[in-house]
Amino acid sequence: MVQTPINLLDSEAKVVDLINVENRAWQTNMLDAVFNKEDSELIASLPISIRGDNDKLIWVNSCNGRFSVKSAYFLDTDLRRHPFGILARKQIVNDGSCPVCTKEVETILHVLWSCPAATDVWGEAISPVKKWHIAYEDFSVLWRDLSTRLEAEQLDQIAVVLYQLWKRRNRWVFDNKFQSPSIIYKHATDELEIFKQVGLLQKQQVADTGMQNQERVRVLWEPAGANCYNFNFDVAFDKNNNTIGIGGVLRDSRREAEIMLSAPRAHVPSVFHAECYALIRVMELCHDLRISNVIFEGDAKQVIDSINGQHVDCSWQRQLIEDIQFLLARQTTWRVRFVKREANHAAHATAQYGKFLISEAVWMEEGPSEIMSFVLSDKECIPF
């Protein structure tokens, strides 16, 4: 929930006043001027439909964005158990009491688990411990219970949320800023997703190192066929600056690079959003250049499956998928398909390059050496 008081816009202002209608993007300068940093970044991370679609209601307390009686029941229960008044209190004391609730002595267990502000977070709809009791002797007992009762993936989520809770406590003490439970879980989910992506990449690197002296089958990039283009796309995260690099390489049936694109982008909340933004950008480029018979290839299987599927979903992510499907419907000779990461190195190189750019760069036929080495390797069918 955005809590910054409006200080520049008049009482009749609407959300559209914060959007660059021509580019269908948020006016970040306006957001920074009207809202505080946290709220501005949160708003800027919201996707804007390229279709100019009508507004629709999204129920944020369910994974698919659709209302259900069950989700409403849990929300009501959480609100009754954890009144917001405690979170809104702004009194800092120096007597060893919790600086957030000011009611009890501050301990690790209290800050991370039993403080009313912490229980609000653990009461979030997606929390695996939302129905747990709060009475534990100390943090070690709590952690032992968590480790015993939760699956490994759930325990990973809990660990990241614990870290976010401690960061929130310090931000409240030193900067007088407080994050809502939904923001805490959003940041935790984003960090966990990035952590998983990095973990997968590290596992792949370890596996490659262990097999370097063995013969193995190598997945190579292959052109789609005569009279057809392949446009590989990918993203690369810059966690320190909370930005991503977008990359794409368009090649013809002779393996020749026709177009290479690298671009930076800020305020991207998840890997899923990032991959969607990358695909939308390369599609828009092909549309502007009137390029037909294109197969767009990416290594984000969840995104590709969502685009080619027809399941009902009303979440924010689904809006991006519908935008991509809209672009595909306008070009009947376009298709989207999944490729393994090993066949997507050239696109990843352009994405890595995009992290360090100030604005988008597009090259025709010949690009930077950091990118061309991967393109030429694919052309000559040489494994990396």
Residue 2 has pLDDT above 90, yes or no: no
Average confidence (pLDDT) over 274-303: 93
Q: Give ranges for CATH 3.30.420.10 in the chain.
A: 229-379
Give the separation between CA 190 and CA 13, rounded to whole angstroms: 31
Provide the pLDDT confidence category of residue 134 given band limits of 50, 70 and 90.
confident
Higher pLDDT, 192 or 213: 192
Residue 84 has pLDDT above 50, yes or no: no
Average confidence (pLDDT) over 336-344: 89
Average confidence (pLDDT) over 228-237: 93
Q: Which CATH superfamily is domain 229-379 in?
A: Ribonuclease H-like superfamily/Ribonuclease H (3.30.420.10)
Q: What is this structure's pTM?
A: 0.59
Provide the pLDDT confidence category of residue 83 given band limits of 50, 70 and 90.
very low
Asked if 71 contacts 210 with a C-beta cutoff of 8 angstroms, the reply is no
pLDDT at 87: 34
CA dihedral 357, 363, 365, 367 (to 10 degrees): -20
Provide the pLDDT confidence category of residue 213 given band limits of 50, 70 and 90.
very low
Average confidence (pLDDT) over 21-28: 82
In the DSSP assignment, the letter for residue 4 is P
Q: Give the burial class of 116: count Cβ atoms within 10 A of its Cβ; 0-12 exposed, 13-18 middle, 19 or more buried.
A: buried
State the chain's mean pLDDT as an integer: 80
pLDDT at 86: 34
